[in-house]
Amino acid sequence: MTEPLLQVRDLHTHFFTRAGEVKAVNGVSFSVDRGRVLGLVGESGSGKSVTGYSILGLIDPPGRIVSGSIRFEGRELVGLDPDELRALRGRRIAMVFQDATATLNPVLTVGRQMTLAIRAHERASDRAARDLALDVLKKVGIPDPASRLNTYPHELSGGMRQRVAIAVALLHRPALIVADEPTTALDVSVQAQIIFEMRDLVRSLGTAMIWITHDLATVSSLADDVLVMYAGRMVEAGPTRVTLRAPRHPYTAGLLASVPSRNPKGVDLPQIPGSTPSLLRLPPGCPFQPRCPRATPVCREDPPRVVDSGREALCHHPLPPASQAAA
Amino acid sequence: MSDPHLVIDRVSKRFDPRVTLGDRIAARLGARVELRGVQAVRDVSLAIAPGETLGLVGESGCGKSTLGRMAAGIMAPTSGTVRLEGRPVMSPGGTKLTTRVQTVFQDPFASLNPRMSVGEILAEGPVAHGLTTRENARDYVAGWLDRVGLDRSYVGRFPHQFSGGQRQRIAIARALAMQPDVLVCDEPVASLDVSIQAQIINLFLKLRRELGLTYLFISHDLGVVRHISDRVAIMYLGRIVEIGTADALYADPRHPYTQALLASVPRLMTEDAVGAEFAPIAGEIPSPLAPPPGCPFHTRCPAAGPRCVAEMPDLVPTGAQRVACHLYTGGVELAA
Amino acid sequence: QNLTIGTRAGPESIDPHFTATGTHAEALKHVFDTLVWSGDQLQIEPRLAESWRQIDPTTWEFKLRKGVKFHDGSDFTAEDVKFSIERIPTVSGPNPTTIYVRRVKDVTIVDPHIIQVKTDGPAPALPYDFIRLFIVSHKAAAGLTKETANEAFNNGKAAIGTGPYKFVSWTPKESFVVERFDGWWGEKQPWARVTRKELPNDAARVAQLRAGQVDLAVRIPAADIATLQRESSLNVVKGDTVYVFNMEFDFREKSPQVSAKDGSALPANPFREAKVREAVDLAIDRPALAEIAMEGLGRPVNQMVTSNTFGYNKSLPELKPNLQRARQLLQEAGYPNGFKVTFNFTNDRLPGDRAVGTAVAQMLARVGIEVNANGQPGAVLFPARTRGDYSLVMSGWGTITGEASYTLSSLGHTNNKELKMGAFNWRGYSNANLDKLLQDAAVEVDEAKRRKLLEDAGALFMQERISLPLVAVSSATAFRKDKVEPKLIRVDEEVLAMDVVPPKK
Amino acid sequence: MLGFIIQRLLQAGLVMLVMSALVFVGVFAIGNPIDVIISPDATQDIRARAIAAYGLDRPIWEQYAGFLGRLLQGDLGRSFVFNMNVTDLIFSRLPATLELTLVAVLGATFIGVPLGIYAGYRPDSPVSKGIMAVSVLGFSVPTFWIGLLLILTFAVWLGWLPAGSRGPTVEVFGVGWSFLTPEGWKHLLLPALNLSLFKFAMMVRLSRAGTREIMLTDTVRFARAAGLSEWTILRHHVLKLISIPIVTVFGLEFGSTLAFAVVTETIFSWPGVGKLIIDSINSLDRPVMVAYLILVAALFVTINLLVDLTYALLDPRLRRKGA
Amino acid sequence: MTPTDTTLTSQDPVTLPAPEAAPAPVPPPVSPLRAFWAEYRESWIAVIALAVVVLVVLAALLAPWITPQDPYDIANLSLMDARRPPGYVGAEGYTHWLGTDANGRDLLSAILYGLRISLQMGLVAGLVALSVGTTLGLVAAHSGGRIETAIMRIVDLQLSFPAILLALVLVAMLGQGKGQLIAALVAAQYAYFARTAYGAAAAERRKDYVEAAHSVPLSARRIVFRHILPNIMPPLIVVATVQIANSIALEATLSFLGLGLPVTEPSLGMLISNGFQYMMSGRYWISIYPGIALIILIVAINLVGDQIRDQLNPRLKR
Ligand SMILES: Nc1ncnc2c1ncn2[C@@H]1O[C@H](COP(=O)(O)OP(=O)(O)OP(=O)(O)O)[C@@H](O)[C@H]1O
Ligand SMILES: Nc1ncnc2c1ncn2[C@@H]1O[C@H](COP(=O)(O)OP(=O)(O)OP(=O)(O)O)[C@@H](O)[C@H]1O
Ligand SMILES: [Mg+2]
Ligand SMILES: [Mg+2]
């Protein structure tokens, strides 16, 4: 079996802040194969974005990858020379951010920003750069791309802006795109458009993608695999359909249960009590243990380990697997 | 349904740009000066019965919050009135006349004054309006904290010491402490995490049961609205395009916009039922600065015809709900 | 050879008749000659007038110098003198040069080189008035009005004089440049070109001198003299001036800025009491003011005019401090605990004014008079003084005409519009004896008698302590030894290129 | 945009009106200018005549109305002290001030901005700390004090540069400029340095703060994610973004530098308008004061207008509004 | 339906688990002030600067007790002691560690008293400007419409006019004296506060908590003063530190230009200006020491202000 496109092993990324050490990513492992979509879900602050940034080497001080390994196309990215890393960024791995209004530079035209991104990796004549930009803009579904090149981001609608950002990410046909909640800031209708288009794009280009979101529904319709994070740790991973149908971790199960549309109208929703812990003061054992109905004393002391290899649920007392549940 | 309780009567709101003397002179001189205003809410009428929950859904910028503000008596409508039990909630001069409509906002981080303790936040309004005395404020506040599931010992703490869910509970307690009949909730769970969202929704449900509150519940999350609302109104570009009971509306949406909206939301799929996919609506919302003539949705509507461009449809009973669409009033072709 | 002088100010126009400011006259003396010249000690000397005499009490006759040429080559005649005198009232600005011709009623040309001036009464001091009567060319300046005159002069068209230097250029508040006029009637000037650079800031002037940007700088602050003298390339000369710091008492019944120490009103204005004035006098240590406050650039004085002035009284005694006596006098006058007064003085007009003012305040405090020392810009002080806002003021006064009646009658005579006397007597002082002496002196034609009258007036002034003269201001001029050598130091502080020569090798 | 410009011009008129009225009232309150200017030996009668000749005996509103009337005909009046047209007087000195100010502000900007960007890019490096230390000093130490030290050190002590005054000028367009001669530059250097220090500090702080904030934005993160080199990011993204506040400050500072030149000009005997205004305050030369303040106000408004227009050029977000 | 583990749902959905079981609310109750100080402490420069400011303020406050001489009591000064170099032992028998000035003032005493005056001017002017400006800004932000336009236009006009010129004209107009000078300083500075207050209040006004207060409804006064005002204090404090430092410098500059305070009660600026004429003659101490004192004071205030500004900048938070 060939090596996966991206393999992350036991990643720890911490922020050394005034208040203390924030263990934003605390032992996350996963891999992404060529052409596959991994959905990274979790609540706000669970370390999804930091995981994404870690892959691209975009962690700014006071943050740092403390340990772990990130192998991409057979190369170890942790500890890689900054220049080599830069050469990979945008060319082999690209990233799209949540709020396109904030990511695009408001004082540069779309064309200029795209040209800069093109020239970051290849010597291109003005003409060639323009043609490439036009080509990609067309691909992401921007009508009349030629005239858009000279516009400024604020002259575009939110959806168009996000499409431009996606186009910038696609310029060099990367092998992997890390998409950090690219549709969260958008309207429902536009959100749907973008998800739709992204899915087609990665399929046609054969690009792998990590889709970061807190919305289980989006993941369910887009991702091949899913990884659920909680308080900086991964709690569950596996093929999307299987995992969502029969979650093994109580947290995943709780999340799924509390979705309103899956409950009879007007009745109380099943809820997870309490709130997410501060990453500064994580309990020693399982991070979910204080809120977990299945917690036992062992959960308080030992962090749980992987239970099975294909599907992972980091839990001392996982729920029964799908077959049993169905029974 | 029983007598309407909160009545929104042909309410419109327009935001006009500021025009300076210089602009006016320039306009005289023939320069193009932006004098158009944003018509955020256009001629909306709604009635909410006591104890009823009306859900208000729509895309960003369609005027939900504006309507909510007017309903809550925070913002004066450009025209039309909002009445609670027959009495206007706001004087023509822009002063709020009642304490019986209260609000809960979306962002729990912005909706609490960071420099006031929980106790002060909760007691301020009731003391100012004589619902309790300064001496009894502590007990009064504690009672409401209990009610929203917060520990009484939190009174002395400041907002920054709480998590988002807890803050939202405080915000709800603040509204409840005014002993309102109607609660206007402007996307109260939108910025909460999934696991917390359920807690707050449950809290709303419980409060309705216990206190018989009436809600105007604004959200863009169709699932949440469906779960909590008796009736649902769909807004598009400042207008209500469809309104009806939640069950009927979700089961049988009539307006093409409602249909498209419902179809465009990704649903959580746990079965291998790949076929039931979502389909996005084409295009984007037109600028409220230059709303299209006729039916506002005609620019994106798959069923639009010439009549939709020319004529604004009225909200008329269609099936179990009321819909503003020409499809149900004689078709989209122009009458000869 | 070129000469660059660092000056404080002036001119304010090239029209010599525009303003009576001292620095204006100083600058324009290079271009225009006056009828009568005042020498370094303010003694009057012939200039364009070779001689003059009074032919009757109201008529003076001036004999004009022959062979004098204007810069444009035309001859100087009586016509120009008459024109100049008559021109003055029509072009004078806010500081009118009319003061130089205020006595003139009529001018008659007797022949091209003799002119008669009729005055509005006996005017024995008329030649003193004429030391700043600049003669302009009647041809060049003909027909100019108040509005057009300045432009015509400033662009050089009308700036035609008979002086030793020709006008070249002028930038207001920056520099004034002239070059040698070879056709001048006097002895040949050594400088081909003279530049007067305006450097009102003392430190800047000194700095530019040291940096070699100017050859000579006027009015060196006392503080810098020693340092400059230490520098081998520089030298400093000191000279006396006619300026005297004096303290003016308010004599009005009610005085605005004097009160008991607790702020309550006093029954009477203490300065009307001779003993109080004497006490103040005795409190002041004049040598200390001169030596310490002014760092040697001053001289104790015992009267309002300096020794070179016509009417200076040699017999007056030196004034010595006596604190004990001063306190005693205050007690006798009914102010055993002293009183409180605001003491106003300028802080930007004369060298040392601020230092002397504060030092005087210190001295008064020592005899129990609580002094609120209020140093302020002249722009604020002068108008307020004219309004009568003050009880105690110190300012500098220069007897620039060189004779004492100018000072004594301005300050000591009863304020009288008709007689044009007591213009600066804002404080309501009136003394019939003094008035009489001054009026007599004004019309006395006999020089010896006039001198006596003025000396008596001076003595009475001091006896009454109408104002207290404190110290005379000395002036220091520094220069680069290798470039220049001052021939003489004028008491009116004017530094003229004519008085400066290149050093003898 | 036109409306905006008109609005600005209306405001400008208002400032000038207010300023001139203020000066009239102010001078009236201080006293009669003639008393400051007139010789001690002038008689009452000469004084009265001079006062009458300048209309200073009339009620203040009448004097002001007269002034406004003449102003409408474009006449700002004549200086009491120089009997020159004040416009001529001021314009004869304006080049000196403009030259000084321009050199100071440009110097401050071209040196300060790069240093500030560096300090913002590497906020913790010792070099940045050094830059910031200098800028705090420049920000704090009063101009006059620095001026003195500069003269003392460079002119008197070391003797490298002249202690003040303007150097020889070369006429261009009928105006004398001193920066066209080497000697002129020598004279210009110290005063310009003195005047620029505060601006320099300002520019450093501003660009540092701007850079620091921009470096933390998603814009930069996105650019990095696209593989742009740090240099490209600084040059294309950061510089362009901070240029907006910098242009604003540049404009405003240019104006206030013009005003602050008062101090530098006094110390360095620089024959500019700043010194003129101090002198005219000292001699209550009301026409010059009024004209100067009106001029400064006009200049300020013009600069602000230019800044706003540049702003719109630099920041496309504002452009549409103005269309 | 999908499997839903019922054990997940607690019995009473609204009741939270007992507090000890629940993780503590986000940070433990640390007083904001203490947190602020903890962060402040990290910059040793800022700590030193703060110490200097405190020391200077203390020294200025205690000046009458710690100085050998009352430099404002002119009866006490001896002309004989004028312009003595540092270390000179004067007539009264004590050493003038920093020398004496032209009036025989002990410079150390004069500097401490001068600091007092400079600080007083800076603080009073700063505080008056703060309250005037803040009130105007708040009124403008809250009232909106015509009043807002009028106030903000005036403020803008003033901001577009150099403070120093305004102060110059005002001092020339009002005459000299502490009151007048403060008036001039206030007039030159209030606009900065008004602008800042207005900007902050306008931003704050749109926040939900203000809207919530309106929806109660609470009185406008209460909303402005209880809700908005406390929340716009941070930027105002930053402006205030800068403006206090500016006031001090501006006062010194005005004094230098001859438009400052009475000579007998010299502020630092006045002392510098008085000593200026002695700079070139080697009697540097008369001007240099007050100058150094002034610079130390202003630099320290600015450093403290810088640190506060950085700390209050949410965008630089970490
Ligand atoms: N620069 C930083 N300094 C300190 N802590 C940081 C920093 N960046 C992130 N963190 C912390 O790391 C944790 C994880 O953050 P991250 O942005 O990955 O969350 P997320 O899962 O993407 O959440 P969201 O859904 O809100 O985007 C958070 O608790 C956050 O406070
Ligand atoms: N104070 C205001 N001034 C000018 N325009 C406004 C104002 N408030 C709202 N609008 C405009 O009115 C329209 C409706 O705004 P509103 O906030 O009611 O939308 P919304 O439906 O609540 O959107 P969202 O889902 O983003 O909250 C928008 O176009 C908005 O730009
Ligand atoms: Mg994130
Ligand atoms: Mg809204």
- Delimit the domains of chain D by residue range: 86-282
Residue A213 Cα, ligand 3 centroid: separation in angstroms? Answer: 8
Q: pLDDT per residue over B2-30, tens digit each?
A: 467 899 999 999 888 777 777 777 777 77
Separation of alpha carbons D90 and D15, rounded Å: 19
Q: Which residue is associated with the tokens 């903000």? A: E152
Among D11, D258, D281, whose Cβ lies nearest the Cβ of E172?
A: D281
Distance from the Cα of E168 to chain B's closest Cα (Å) equals 32
CA distance A87 to chain B (A): 36
Pairing of strands C193-198, C175-180: antiparallel
D315 has a chain A CB within 8 A of its CB: yes
Choice between D95 and E160, residue whose per-residue pLDDT is larger:
D95
Architecture of domain E63-88+108-316: Orthogonal Bundle (1.10)
**D190 with D151: CB under 8 angstroms?**
yes
Overall average pLDDT of the A248-270 stretch: 87
Relative to the alpha carbon of A233, which ligand is closest?
1
Output the CA angle E293-E239-E303, nearest 5 degrees. 40
CATH number of the domain within which B14 lies: 3.40.50.300
Task: Check if A214 has its Cβ closer than 6 Å to any atom of ligand 1.
Answer: yes
**Burial of residue E63, with CB atoms counted within 10 A of its CB: 0-12 exposed, 13-18 middle, 19 or more buried:** buried
Using the Cβ of B22 and the Cβ atoms of chain D, whether some distance falls under 8 Å is answered with: yes
The DSSP element (H or E) to which A239 belongs, if any, is strand A233-239
E313/D contact by beta carbon, under 8 A = yes
Ligand 1 pocket test, pick from A16, A48, A233, A278 with the greatest ligand atom count within 8 Å of Cβ, gives: A48
Number of domains composing chain B = 1
Q: At residue C476, what is the residue type?
A: A
Q: Quote the pLDDT of residue A228.
A: 92
Distance CA D226, CA D222 (A): 6
Cβ-based contacts of A42 with chain B (< 8 Å): none
pLDDT beyond 60 at A302: yes
**C419 DSSP assignment:** T
Residue among B61, B86, B18 at smallest CA distance from B287? B61
**CB distance A15 to ligand 1 below 6 Å:** yes
Q: Is A278 in the pocket of ligand 1 (CB under 6 A)?
A: no
Instruction: Specify the length of chain D in residues.
Output: 323
CB contact under 8 A, A272 and B198: yes
DSSP C337: T
Residue A134 has pLDDT above 60, yes or no: yes
How far CA E176 is from CA of C97, C357, C373, C392, C425, in Å, comes to 32, 16, 12, 17, 25
Partner chains of A (3+ C-beta pairs under 8 Å): B, D, E
pLDDT surpasses 80 at D27: no
Q: What share of chain C is helix, strand, coil (3-state, %, to 5)?
A: 30, 25, 45
Does residue E294 belong to the interface with chain D, where contact is any CB pair within 8 Å? yes
Mean per-residue pLDDT over chain C, rounded: 89
> Does ligand 1 have an atom closer than 6 angstroms to the CB of A46?
yes
Q: CA C480 to CA C89: how far, in whole Å?
A: 42
**Region C66-86 average pLDDT:** 92
Q: Contact, C312 vs C455, CB < 8 A?
A: yes
Instruction: Write out chain D residues lying below 8 Å of C149, CB-based.
Output: 83
Nearest C-alpha neighbor of A156 from the set A136, A139, A175, A141:
A141
C192 Cβ contact list (under 8 Å, min separation 6):
C1, C2, C179, C180
Q: Can you tell me the mean pLDDT for C345-368? A: 87
CA gap E6, E21 in Å, rounded? 20
Per-residue pLDDT of A60-73, as tens digits, reads: 888 899 988 899 98
Query: Ligand 3 centre from C244 Cα, in Å?
Result: 83
Domains and CATH numbers, chain A: 6-92+172-305+314-326 (3.40.50.300)
Residues with CB under 5 A from ligand 3 (ion): A 49
pLDDT of residue D43 exceeding 80: no
Give which of A55, A103, A170 to mutate to test D binding, by max D Cβ within 10 Å: A103
**How many residues are given for chain B?**
336
Cα distance between residue D313 and residue D1, in whole Å:
12
Contact C362 E74 (CB under 8 A): yes
pLDDT at residue E12 is higher than 70: no
pLDDT value at residue E8:
34
3-state SS class at A225? strand
B261-289 residue pLDDT tens: 888 887 776 554 444 566 777 777 888 88
Integer Cα distance of C116 and C110 in angstroms: 7
d(CA E6, CA D173): 91
Please give the residue of chain D at the shortest CA–CA distance from B26.
Answer: D3
- The reply to whether ligand 1 has any atom less than 6 angstroms from the CB of A48 is yes
Instruction: State the nearest Cα–Cα gap between A21 and chain D, in angstroms.
Output: 20
Q: Which two tokens stand for residue C200?
A: 């009102």
What number is the average pLDDT over the span B310-330? 88
> DSSP string spanning C64-96?
EPSS-B-TTSPBP-HHHHHHHHHHHHHH--SS-
DSSP state of A153: G
Give me the pLDDT at residue B177, please.
92
| Minimum-distance ligand 2 atom for the alpha carbon of B235 | 21
Residue E263 is predicted with a pLDDT of 67
Quick one: pLDDT at residue A106? Answer: 86
By CA distance, what is B268's nearest residue in A?
A: A217
State residue E11 phi and psi, 5-degree precision. -60, -60
Measured CA to CA in angstroms, residue E51 lies from E42, E294, E297, E304 at distances of: 14, 16, 11, 10
Task: Give CA–CA dist C392/C372, Å, rounded.
Answer: 10
- The chains in contact with chain D, meaning 3 or more Cβ pairs closer than 8 Å, are A, B, C, E
Is B96's CB within 8 Å of E14's CB? no
Cβ of A253 within 8 Å of Cβ of E38? The answer is no
What is the average pLDDT across D192-206?
88
Instruction: Say whether E264 and C372 touch across the interface (CB within 8 A).
Output: yes
Q: Are D41 and C101 in contact (CB under 8 A)?
A: no
Report the separation in Å between the CA atom of A57 and the middle of ligand 4, taken as the mean of its atom positions: 36
E137 Cα: distance to centroid of ligand 2 (angstroms): 26
Contacts of D3 in chain B (CB under 8 A): 19-20, 22-27, 31, 33
Lowest mean pLDDT, pick from C154-163, D53-62, D171-180? D171-180
Q: Is B86 exposed, middle or buried (0-12, 13-18, 19+ CB in 10 A)?
A: exposed
Residues pairing with B13 in the sheet: B41
Residues E38-62 pLDDT 10s? 888 888 888 998 999 999 889 888 8
D256 touches chain E (CB under 8 A): yes
- Better-scored residue on pLDDT, E129 or E160: E129
d(CA D8, CA A173): 51
Q: What number does the ligand 2 atom closest to the CA of B64 have?
A: 21
Claim: this prediction has a pTM higher than 0.90: no
E318 has a pLDDT exceeding 70: no
Tokens of C289: 């003011």
Tokens linked to C479:
């220069």
Half-sphere exposure at residue C440, Cβ-oriented, CA atoms within 13 angstroms: 18
pLDDT, averaged across chain B:
86
Q: Quick one: which ligand is closest to B194's CA?
A: 1
Angle, CA of D293, D298 and D304, to the nearest 5°: 125
Residue in B closest to E206 by C-alpha:
B110
The predicted complex's ipTM stands at 0.79
User: For C256-303, how does the pLDDT look when each residue is reduced to its tens digit (9 = 90+)?
Assistant: 999 998 888 888 999 999 999 999 999 999 999 998 888 888 999 999
Give the residue-averaged pLDDT of E128-142.
90
Going by C-beta distance under 8 Å and a sequence separation of 6 or more, which residues neighbour residue A177? Answer: A93, A94, A95, A96, A169, A170, A202, A207, A208, A209, A210
* DSSP three-state, residue B253: coil
Please state, in angstroms and rounded to a whole number, the distance separating the CA atoms of residues B54 and B245. Answer: 9
Whether residue A24 has its Cβ less than 6 Å from ligand 1: yes
Looking from the CA of residue A52, the nearest atom of ligand 1 is: 18
The C-alpha atoms of residue A240 and residue A29 are separated, in whole angstroms, by 17
Mean pLDDT confidence for B127-133: 91
D46 CB neighbours in chain C (<8 A) are: 96, 98-99, 102
Strands (E) in E56-133, as ranges, are 88-89, 95-96
DSSP one-letter code for D234: I
**From the CA of E231, how far away is ligand 2's center (Å)?**
25
Domain that holds residue B198: 6-100+180-251
Parallel, antiparallel, or unpaired: how do β-strands B53-58 and E95-96 relate? unpaired
Q: Return d(Cα A278, Cα A17) in angstroms, integer.
A: 13
Report, as an integer, the average pLDDT of A129-157. Answer: 86
The CA distances from residue C447 to C39, C46, C123, C444, in Å, are 19, 18, 12, 7
**pLDDT for residue E14 is more than 50:** no
**Type of residue at A229:** M
Measure the CA–CA gap between C218 and A11, rounded to whole angstroms.
Answer: 81
How far is the CA of E71 from the CAs of C340, C501, E103, E219, E259, in angstroms?
19, 48, 9, 53, 21
Atom from ligand 2 closest to the CA of residue B62: 21
Contacts of E277 in chain C (CB under 8 A): 202-203, 221, 223-224
Q: What was the pLDDT predicted at E22?
A: 39
Q: Are C104 and C117 in contact (CB under 8 A)?
A: yes
CATH of domain D86-282: 1.10.3720.10
Q: Which residues line ligand 2 (CB under 6 A)?
A: B 15, 38, 40, 58, 60-66, 220, 288
